[in-house]
Structure formats: structure tokens, C-alpha cells
Amino acid sequence: MPTILPLALILQTTTAVPPPSVVVQGTPATQVMPGDPQRTEEDVQRSSVASDIVVTARRREERAQNVPIALSVVGVKEIDDTGSFNVARLQQLQPTLQFYSTNPRNSSVNIRGLGAPLGLTNDGIDQGVGVYIDQVYLSRVAAATLDFLDVQQVETLRGPQGTLYGKNTVAGAINITSRAPSFDFEGRAEVSAGNLDFKQAKASISGPLGDRVAARLGLATTSRRGTVFNVRSGTYVNEQDNLGVRGALLFRASDSLDFTLSGDYSRQNPECCAQIFVRVGNTQRPLNRQFDALARAQGYEPVSRNPFDRLTDLDAELNAKNVLGGASLRGELETGAGRLTSITAWRFWDWLPANDRDFTGLPITTLSQNPTHQDQYTQEFRFAGDGKGFDYVVGLFGFYQDIHTTGVQRQGSAASRWLINPSTRDTSVAGSPFLANDPSVLDGLTANNDIRLKNFSGALFGKFNWRIDDRFTLSPGFRVNYDDKVGSYVSIVRDAQGNLVPYSGGTARQAAQRDAIQPQAFTDEAYRAWNVSYDLTGSYKPAQDVLLYATYAHSFKSGGLNLNGVPVVNGVVQTQLAQIAPEKVDHFEAGVKSQFWDRRATLNVTGFWTTIRDYQAIVNNQSTSTLRGYLANAGKVRVRGIEADFSIRPSDRLTAYLNGAFNDARYLDFKNAPCPPELSGGGSGTPIGAPGAPGTNSPIVCDISGQRLPGVSKWAFSYGGEYNLPARLFGLDGQTYVGVDASTRTTFSSNASRSIYTDIDGYTLTNLRAGFRSTNGFNVFGWVRNVFDTRYYEVLATTPGNTGLIAGNVGDPQTYGITLGKSF
């Protein structure tokens, strides 16, 4: 079996001990691969660094610069030196990667603005960015919030990858590769400490257990004090508390057959996740039904109206326990015709949350918990072969998911006044008071939800590379996929005395209770469909270190089921809205990958144009008392832009990089969209009031065709570099170094329908590091993240009740610390 050294090992074994540099599109500034037939021995000797990036983006080992895909690669040294220990941190190095999270379950990983609806948790839909760890597909994006465990490198593939990476990779894929067991004894350890009581430790060890068996064990733990102080509980919230372990056994059954058995366990258990008061924006509700008036009526004032005071007074329990793990067995057989790979895997996910869903210190929603358990099973068979002038990959993939969520929501004593329109009178009792003034109407009102999904998917896929001549290659691909999803949603609502709240009818009191929490049920709702993805890529090498390529891809994101509930009209559950059609994607991309100055400089440029029909978008049932999120299919979305990635190493002393992206992401056709808060909550009829004008009429729906998609900036950049000098410290030969990494993004929307209240201003984050690394693997450095203590928001959100309250997550303040590491 041919051996290709991974990036980290190559960098560790070069005598010059080059400093790490952020890798762009899979390529550091200077690259020579000793086995590259296009490079002479003189080239290898003349180059300052005998290394190259090897990726498996097309399910075989290749030089990144030879792969006609827009991709970015971050190796182990870049992960360690930049503190990019999870996907949230990784996005600062990659301008077209977006990650948003209000808690681990309610997270979105997007590429070029596409992937998953921002801010919606729904068991019945799939993500559009596939996350893979050691070739195993992870169906829940919650995995992206966890620390990387003993990772070798992370490849981010941009654009549809459906023919090799699965049915739901319409935006791209994140391919995470762990370090493999080694027959040479090796290990590494790293500890970090910083302000906010930050503590992190990572360690791994690997070596032989016999002539044919090698083992590897990796551990990681991270803890940090919260960044927001809850004056109600007297504790800091939004903390970090992560623990992970991964083990692997490699059995070399013969010279041509390997088996790798691996298992992992990761756990987060922080007091999290608080979204705090940011601002109040007027809606079209009557003025006495908006936040400030409602708060005054109950003698309430937020503990601070400046979110960067980092204070809150949330009165409900907070927890975000997130546990993932599993096991996989990978077999790889080298035959005379190619390599046969089998990957069998089981994964589990347990989510045990507690939230304060009213975002205030008032007892409005006193309990909001939706614990979830999932089991996932996957089996993949893949064969990679070569022939005269061509190579190919074909495979079979099977996936089964069983997920069960049991939710509880309970209203408190302040809910009646906050949620019920005071004009509503209980006419069933003569002389009864306004329901809004009777706390007992909603106090203790409880919904028990039971949500189930059984999801099967099977696929046949293949990719063919036909080398027409030494310069031109044609690469068609296909995937035939079948989905079978069966789901149920049952929400039973009872008042404080245990009486059932009916779907419709009853008293005005019960109608008010339904407005707060709508009971409903549908069971065994099914979505079944066949789909076909295909793509065609042409690549041409006009020169030794230049690759031109163009791609057309037709792909899809699976349809699904609305398992957050659907509207109920006159007591009838609108089950016709339970199913969501698949997204249909047409994608065009063209790019150039180039290296020059003896491969000391790399410039890669990509242009892309993607249109999506039946885009899966959030729709809200805008009543005066609740916002019920569910999915529907918007008409059409278009994303187009250009990306450029440049890196340079003029000498062994200096490296630098600049990555940039322009992205024009818009709804082309979305006439039946939810309205933003400034056009919501008012009366029905005409004329429609001005945005944010209290006591006026609101449109039923809004036409947001032409508006930008949420979560994506028009411009985004990452840039930085590192400089080193030879030095001797503690009797060790090595280098002192200083490095800087920064990222800049322009304004983006944080609401499905763009709102004047939820635009997030652009910002720049700058990180510094300085330290010493020795030739024998010792490394010590100090670091500062967010050097200038930039104030920024990660997410802004409208809140239940349509009162105009905007809550959000403030970004991390300036943090600093020191890291010590040793590898051998």
C-alpha cells in the first residue's frame, strides 16, 4: 500500500522546522512533493520545504492543487497555533464558511450562505453541508460545536458534493480526518491556560501492540468561565465545559488488507445558552402591547440595556448538555485492480437542554426543554480503481436514523399579561375580568411534546476521471438516491388543573391558552422519494503548476417533514404542510489553481453561480401572541460570487496569506414570506401601516424577493502571517516567532426576512501569537484573541410574543493566555 506522508508529519520531519502557516485551498506557500513526477530532483533539493498537502476530497489521495474543487485545508499545526479547535473557530480562517449557534442543537453550518435555515431546529429536515469524521457521515450538526479530537486535518469542500459525499451536500462538505494509529511510537501533549479561567489540555499517544497491530488514544478537555453574568442566579453563564476521548486500533491483516476499529465519546455540559437583551424595536402592535409598556405594567426593567455589559437576569434553568459518540470499523483491501473500502458505523446523540425562552427575568415561560436521543447507522462500500488513462470511484451507501424528542414547555405567572390581548374577555362567566389580568389563565399551562422520526436513505454513486491527454481530464459523476422518512408530532396541552386544552372551540379562556401554546397531533406522516444527482467537471493544465477547471452540478437536498408542528386552522391540523419538497440545485463553477516563484506563492480563484428552486425556508404563523416556525418551499434562491486565496513564503522566515470572498446571495422569488417584526403584530385590513408604527395594520405575508439571504456577508476576508528567527532557548535549538491572524466581514442579516432590527454590523477580529518552537518538538507561545476587544454579535433573534424585544449572543471579549506543547 503506497504511503503518503500527512502534512503534520512532513512539517515535523523537515530539518528547517518551518513555521506553520494557515493553509488556503489546500496549499501552503511552498510545496514540493518528493514523489511528484512533474518535479525534478533538483527542484526538490532547491525548495526550502519538501512538503505538499494531500487530500481525500475525491475519496482517493491526491495533491490538493491537482483537485478541480474549491477546497480549503487546515492542518494540525494550524489548528493548534490559531486556536481553531472547533468549527466555530475555524470559520475565522475561511471566509466562505459560516457557523451560527444559539445552542448545540440549534446550530447551522453554511458554505457560501447555503446549508440550513438560520435559527430553526427541526428533526425532520437535513442539513445542506455534510460533516464527515473519518469518512463517517454525521446527521446532526451538533457535532460541529464539539472540540476536534486528535485531528490530522480538516478539508472544507465548497459547492455541491453530492456524487461522492451524499445526498445532502448541496452547499459543500467538511471532511475531518483523525490521526491514524502508527507502528512508530509517537505522542504529543499540549496544555493552555488563560483569562476567564480558561483551561485546555490535549494529548495523544500511538504505537505498536505487536507486529500487525497499532493503537492510538487521544484526549481533549476544555473549560472556561462564562462570558455573561446572571444576576438572578449569581453565576456566569455561556461557559465552556467540554470533554472528549478517541481511540483507534489498526490491524494489518496482510500486506494488502487493513482494518481500523475506532470509537469516540464527546460531552459538553455547560450552563448555557443565554440570549440576552439587545434592543427594542417597535412593531405594529398597539403601543400598550409592546415590550416597554408590558414590562412597566409588571414593574420589570432589564438588568441592563447595554448588551456589552454582559449581564442578564434570566430566571429559568439553563443547560446545554450535548453528548455524542460512536464506533466504526473500516476495512481497506488493495487488489490488483484498485482499493475496496468498507465503512460500518454506529453513532448516538443525546441532547439534554434547559432554556429560558422568554429572554427576560419575568416568569413568562418557566420551563422549556426538548431532550433528544438519536441512533444512527451507516454502511458504505466503495471501490477506487485505475485503468489506462482513467480512474474511478463507485460505491453503495446506506443510512438509518431513529430520533426521539420529548419536549416540555410551561408558562408562568407573568404569561397572561405578557401574551394575552387585554381586549379578550371570557364571556362564559358574567362579569369576568379581562383574561390578560388573570394570571391563572396561563400560569401552569403545559405542553408535552412527543416527536419521532425514522429516516432511511440508500444510494448508488460514482465518479469517473477520464484523462483524454496529459493536460485535459473529463470527470462525470452521478448519485441515485432514495429517501424514506416517517415522522410524528404530538403536542398535548393541559392547564394548571390538568384539563386538556382542545384543538378548537371551548371558552375564550381556552382560546387564549391555544394562542399561547397550540395543541395538535399528526402521526405516521411519510415522505418518500427518488432523486438523481449528477455533475460534470472539465480540467485542463496549460502549464506544470496551473490548473483550470469548470463544473456543472445538478444536486438536491432531501425533502422532509415539519416536526416542529404546523398551523392549526379552525381546529384542523394543516397536515398538507407537514411535508417539504426537496431543494433542486443547479450549480456552475469555474476556477484556476496556480503556483509560481518555485511554488513559493499560490493563487487560487473560483467563480460560482448557484440557483436553488424550492428553497427550504422558514415561515412564521404571525399571530399577536406567538411565532410558530415551520418550513415551506420558497420559489427560488440565487447565490453567486468569487473567491480568491493567496499565500506566499518568500523565505524560510516569513509566510503570509490573504483569502477573500464576494458573495451575492438573494431570494429571487419569495412572495409568501414571513414579515419582519417591524411589519408584524398589527391589525388586519388596509391600509398597511408604516414599519414600526404602533396600532396600525400589518400585511399577512411579505414579498422579500430580491432581499439578501440571512447569515452571509457580501464581503469576507481572512488574512495574516508569521515571521520567525533562529534562536536557542532552554538549551534547545529552534525558532522564535510572531504571528497574526485576522478576519473581516461586512454587515449580514440575522433574520429569515431581513429586519431593520436584526442586521449585524460588520466587524474585524484580530488574533496574535508569539513564542518559541524547538527542533525536537517543544513549543511555547502566548496568544491574544480579539486583540482590540471588538464588540460584535454572533446572532440576533426576534423573541416569542412579537413584543419588539430583540435578544442575541454577544461575541467573545478579548481573551489571552499561554500554551505549552511537546511532541515526540
Residue range 804-811: average pLDDT? 95
Residue 773 pLDDT > 90, yes or no? Answer: yes
Report the chain's mean pLDDT, rounded to a whole number.
88
Q: Is residue 1 domain-resident?
A: no
Q: Is residue 465 domain-resident?
A: yes
Residue range 727-747: average pLDDT? 96
Residue range 155-181: average pLDDT? 90
Full residue range of the structural domain in which residue 419 is found: 7-823
SS (H, E, C) 617-643: EEEEEECCCCEEEEEEEEEEEEEEEEE
Per residue in 363-412, pLDDT (tens digit) is 999 999 999 999 999 999 999 999 999 999 999 999 999 999 998 999 99
Q: Domain containing 498 — which CATH number?
A: 2.40.170.20
SS (H, E, C) 445-479: CEEEEEEEEEEEEEEEEEEEEEECCCCEEEEEEEE
Read off the C-alpha cell for 689: 401601516
Per residue in 503-537, pLDDT (tens digit) is 888 898 998 999 889 899 999 999 999 999 999 99
Residue range 311-321: average pLDDT? 95
Cα angle value 271/273/279 (rounded, 5°): 135
Euclidean distance between CA atoms 799 and 360, whole angstroms: 10
Q: What is the pLDDT of residue 13?
A: 31
Percent of the chain surpassing pLDDT 90 = 70
Residue 1 pLDDT > 90, yes or no? Answer: no
Dihedral sign of CA atoms 590, 64, 776, 210 in order:
positive
Q: What is the pLDDT of residue 420?
A: 87
**DSSP-derived secondary structure for 582-611:** PEEEEEEEEEEEEEETTTTEEEEEEEEEEE
* CB contact set of 182 (below 8 Å; sequence gap of 6+): 206, 207, 214, 216
Q: What is the pLDDT of residue 630?
A: 64
Residue range 699-716: average pLDDT? 93
Distance of CA 454 to the CA centre of its chain: 23
Euclidean distance between CA atoms 97 and 81, whole angstroms: 20
List C-alpha distances in Å: 735 to 76, 560, 727, 776, 780: 19, 54, 5, 11, 11
Question: Are the CB atoms for 821 and 190 separated by under 8 Å?
Answer: yes
| End-to-end Cα distance, the chain | 25
Q: What is the pLDDT of residue 120?
A: 61
Identify the helix (H) or strand (E) that includes residue 353.
strand 338-354
Per residue in 423-435, pLDDT (tens digit) is 665 555 444 467 8
Euclidean distance between CA atoms 64 and 61, whole angstroms: 9
Q: What is the pLDDT of residue 28?
A: 35
Residue range 546-571: average pLDDT? 89
Euclidean distance between CA atoms 625 and 606, whole angstroms: 47
Q: Is residue 324 domain-resident?
A: yes
Per residue in 77-94, pLDDT (tens digit) is 888 888 777 888 888 888
- Whether the full predicted model's pTM is greater than 0.75, yes or no, is yes
Residue 803 pLDDT > 80, yes or no? Answer: yes
Residue range 618-639: average pLDDT? 64
Q: What is the pLDDT of residue 58?
A: 79
Cα angle value 43/46/51 (rounded, 5°): 75
Euclidean distance between CA atoms 762 and 748, whole angstroms: 7
The strands making up 136-138's β-sheet, listed across from edge to edge, are: 71-75, 151-158, 172-178, 129-133, 136-138
When mean pLDDT is compared over 100-104, 283-287, 538-542, 634-638, the highest value belongs to 538-542
pLDDT band at 45 (very low <50, low <70, confident <90, very high): very low
pLDDT band at 490 (very low <50, low <70, confident <90, very high): very high
Nearest to 809 by CA among 317, 82, 222, 88: 88
Question: Are the CB atoms for 797 and 750 separated by under 8 Å?
Answer: yes
3-state secondary structure of 136: strand
The answer to which of 24-28, 290-294, 704-708 has the lowest mean pLDDT is 24-28
Residue 29 pLDDT > 80, yes or no? Answer: no
Residue 21 pLDDT > 80, yes or no? Answer: no
Higher per-residue pLDDT: 473 or 682: 473
Euclidean distance between CA atoms 52 and 62, whole angstroms: 10
Per the structure, the count of domains in the chain is 1
Residue 127 pLDDT > 70, yes or no? Answer: yes
For cell 439553563, name the residue: 318
Per residue in 717-726, pLDDT (tens digit) is 999 999 999 9
3-state helix, strand, coil in the chain (%, to 5): 10, 55, 35
Percent of the chain surpassing pLDDT 70 = 90
